[in-house]
Amino acid sequence: MEKVVIKDSNYRIRKGKILRTKQLTKLEKLFEIALDGGESLDQEPGQFVMVSIFGVGEAPISVCSSPTKRGSFELCVRDAGKVTGAMHRLEAGDEIGIRGPYGKGFPIRILEGNDLLMVAGGLGIAPLRSLIKYAFDNRRDFGKIHIMLGCKTSDDLLFEDELNQWFKRMDVHYECTVDRAASDWDGHVGQITTLLPGVHLETERTFAIVVGPPVMYKFVLRELIKKNIPENQIILSFERHMKCGMGKCGRCQIQNLYCCQDGPVFNYADIKNMSEAL
Amino acid sequence: MKDLQYVILKKENLDGFISRMSRLRKVSAPVAKGNGEYAFEEVDSSDRIELKYKPTIMPPKKYFMPQEETLLEFSTAKGLATKPVVEYEKMTLFGVHTCDLAGIQCLNAVFSVRPRDYNYLTRKRQIDIIGLECGDYCDEHASCSMVSAHMPSGGYDLFFTDLGDYFIVHMNTQAGEEMIEATKCFESAEETHFDDLQSFRKKKRDTFKSEVQIEPRFIPGLFDACFESSIWKELDAKCLACGNCTNVCPTCYCFDIIDEVGLDLKNGKRYRKWDSCQLEPFAKVAGGENFRKERAARQRHRYYRKFRYPVAKYSKFFCTGCGRCSRSCMAGIHLKDTLNALIKESDSKIWKKWL
Ligand SMILES: Cc1cc2nc3c(=O)[nH]c(=O)nc-3n(C[C@H](O)[C@H](O)[C@H](O)COP(=O)(O)OP(=O)(O)OC[C@H]3O[C@@H](n4cnc5c(N)ncnc54)[C@H](O)[C@@H]3O)c2cc1C
Ligand code: SF4
Ligand code: SF4
Ligand code: FES
């Protein structure tokens, strides 16, 4: 058996240096990363990268910063197992491996000129934040922006300092709810679906972008349909088990679709009849 | 008229051909393993080669996409250093049946679409392929005729048809021609040889009839109608989720990617390894959801990856009819039975009315 080094390999790794970390909650940590040699990641909002911890493995992680942020990018990682657990032990100055970006991100060109209703549950705020930040940085290109956030308790809130700023912005309608409230919480209490009925929308020019755990989709979709948002104006982002990110390993398949290539962002109209999707 | 693409090899010269080839590079061919089983193994003469064999336990996929292959080497000794690698071996495969040629063509399609997989493509370029035609069915599990994989349609450098005392050999590529020139065992083909080939093929057409009562063009429609079929539930009760069927399938290529560190904890490799959609954790994610939790859903997925999904993506079925999945299933799940059951169940459904 011969073994040669190849230049073109799809498994080539780009070296990244961690510039800064921040523990957001007990389980989630934020990493700011710069690629070696000042290379740009050149991602679209909603795309993901494969992060390598050598000797442990790779994990797909959404880029949670906007491409308008130059020179570095951010990942918000929940400690969920081997690779993500090993990531949590890294600090500023450590090196990691990056492959990607991969996948189809949010359809920015289609969203431009429309109102956005962005709904995130739990860790779903991580991928959605890339779009929120992009929209803020290009605020004029979008109509009204509504952000609806839900999580279990106020201790699980990610990016809390940023959320507080969103509250203050005049050009954003932001609401947040927790399933269970602590005594010092003065916001909404209840499932994320309780926020939706009260929102005033111009449905024909509103795109709903929903990111969260699978259970959330069913209930949120029901509310959106009730509000008469057309099916092809509902955008979802899915999580599937992924190994290659390139449509080969088969792990992420949703019937005939590859979540890593055809998604992770999908238009609801395209997948609504697929039982493996929802 | 002489067809320059054809030559003949007398049976008594087969040994000369194989032994001369094996001096040039590794040659692998089907050999008997006992209990009526066969395997592709390295040979240096024609002694062990079986010219009439039932599909080998493992398809020749094992050479194109080894069960395990290193993708990347890394070192964390002096800062992080990584090196993408390809492992390959120059070799000639002798005696590949048309079903397995079709299987290799499926893998070629998968790994050639962008982003191209250079590990696969580099290795493939180093493997020459010599096909061997079947004149009769290997056993009752074959369904090669249903998917038209019983006749040669490319995918080889040379193609041998056994016509009794001699082989008629089709030269399909320059690499094939070079093998013939380098070994000097072949003679030119005459009119009578072509007549023999004609009558061989005529007899073959009478022997091979679609093993399942459906025309290939209706198979995608059949599957469109059967997603919620109760047949999948029946497979759920039988299947042991062992993954044998996908391991032995010439067109199954799902893989896992795994890291391994050496004893020094500084150097290591990242390799890929065959995986199986039939195993329980295959579609499980960190949040706890498993998107194909039931065996029924996993079996269905296997069949759709053979007969429906690739038709849209690659314009071909990813079943070659080799019968390996049926032969190797300890639970007695047989591909032809499943297809027949689906056809029977959908008899009443709309699509049939349009026939
Ligand atoms: C497109 C996409 C974007 C994602 N974005 C983020 C993000 O921004 N932040 C974040 O914290 N997490 C994100 N995830 C989830 C993250 O990839 C998994 O938590 C991670 O892969 C688990 O790997 P591990 O080695 O830590 O866990 P393991 O120890 O390997 O396993 C723990 C559990 O995670 C599942 N799992 C393992 N590998 C994967 C995998 N490659 N993909 C999905 N599930 C897996 C296992 O089935 C098991 O149930 C995303 C996943 C996808 C598919
Ligand atoms: S070989 Fe048979 S029992 Fe094993 S996973 Fe395949 S169908 Fe199920
Ligand atoms: S599905 Fe079965 S018969 Fe078809 S190619 Fe795979 S192993 Fe052969
Ligand atoms: S992650 Fe490998 S096919 Fe999508």
Each residue's pLDDT tens digit in chain A (278 positions)?
889 999 889 999 999 999 999 999 999 999 999 999 989 999 999 999 999 999 999 999 999 999 999 999 999 999 999 999 999 999 999 999 999 999 999 999 999 999 999 999 999 999 999 999 999 999 999 999 999 999 998 888 899 889 888 888 889 999 999 988 888 888 898 888 898 888 999 999 999 999 999 889 999 999 999 999 999 999 999 999 999 999 999 999 999 999 999 999 999 999 999 989 98
> Is the Cβ pair B291, A254 closer than 8 Å?
yes
Extract the tokens encoding B306: 């053979």
Asked whether residue A83 falls in the same domain as residue A202, the answer is no
Find chain B residues with C-beta within 8 A of A240's C-beta.
283, 285, 291
Q: Is B279 in the pocket of ligand 2 (CB under 6 A)?
A: no
Q: What is the ipTM of this complex?
A: 0.92
- B86 in contact with A, Cβ within 8 Å: yes
Q: Which pLDDT score is estimated for B1?
A: 46
B162 close to B133: Cβ distance less than 8 angstroms:
yes
Nearest-Cα distance to chain A for B10, in Å, is: 33
Q: Which of B74, B255, B283 sits opposite A54 (nearest CB)?
A: B74
Contact A149, A125 (CB under 8 A): yes
Last residue of a domain, one of A101, A124, A154: A101
Residue A69 included in any domain:
yes
Residue type, B136: D
State whether A136 and A259 are in the same domain.
Answer: yes
CA angle B152, B157, B163 (to 5 degrees): 55
B314 CB within 8 Å of a chain A CB? no
CA torsion sign, A159 to A164 to A166 to A167?
positive
Domain tally, chain A: 2
Same domain? For A50 and A167 the reply is no
Is there a domain that residue A77 lies in? yes
Residue B4, pLDDT score: 75
Token readout for B346 is: 């959908």
Inter-chain contact A214–B253, Cβ cutoff 8 Å?
no
* Residue A65 belongs to some domain of the structure: yes
Q: What is the pLDDT of residue A185?
A: 83
CB under 8 Å to B206, separation ≥6 — which residues?
A: none
Across the interface, whether the CB atoms of A6 and B283 are under 8 A apart is answered no
- Among A42, A75, A101, the domain-final residue is A101
Question: Is A277 part of a structural domain of the chain?
Answer: no
Write the CATH number for A35. 2.40.30.10
Domain contains A1 = no
As beta bridge partners, residue A205 has: none
Residues A223 and A207 in one domain: yes
A139 and A94 both lie in a single domain: no
Q: Note whether A137 and A242 are same-domain residues.
A: yes
A256–chain B Cβ distance below 8 A for any pair: yes
A258 and A151 assigned to the same domain: yes
Question: The domain spanning residue A193 has which CATH number?
Answer: 3.40.50.80
Give mean pLDDT in consecutive 10-residue pieces for chain B, a chain of 355 residues. Answer: 82 96 96 95 96 96 97 92 95 98 97 95 96 95 94 96 96 95 94 95 93 90 92 94 96 97 92 95 89 93 96 95 96 95 79 50
A181 shares a domain with A54: no
Query: Which residues, in sequence order, are CB contacts of A198 under 8 Å at separation 6+?
Result: none
Tokens encoding A259: 């979540």
How many inter-chain contacts (A to B, CB under 8 Å) are there?
147
- Is A278 part of a structural domain of the chain? no
How many angstroms does the Cα of residue B334 sit away from the middle of ligand 3? 10
Instruction: Flag whether A3 is in a domain.
Output: no
Residue A201 and residue A115 in contact, taking contact as beta carbons nearer than 8 Å: yes
A85 and A199 share one domain:
no
Q: Which of A101, A129, A156 is the last residue of a domain?
A: A101
Scan for tokens 């029924």, then name that residue.
Answer: B296
E-assigned strand segments in chain B: 6-10, 26-34, 37-43, 68-75, 81-88, 91-96, 127-132, 158-162, 166-171, 187-188, 255-261, 267-274
Q: Given the DSSP bridges, would you call strands B68-75 and B81-88 parallel, antiparallel or unpaired?
A: antiparallel
The Å distance, Cα A80 to ligand 1 centre, comes to: 7
pLDDT digits (tens, 9 = 90+) for B222-266: 999 999 999 999 999 999 999 999 999 999 999 999 999 998 889
Interface membership of A275 toward B (CB under 8 Å): yes
Ligand 2 atom closest to the Cα of residue B243 is: 5
Pairing outcome for strands A257-258 and A253-254 = antiparallel
Q: Which two tokens stand for residue B19?
A: 């032994």
Q: Which domain holds residue A168?
A: 108-271
The distance of A248 to chain B (nearest Cα, Å) reads 7
Check if B350 contacts A (Cβ < 8 Å).
no
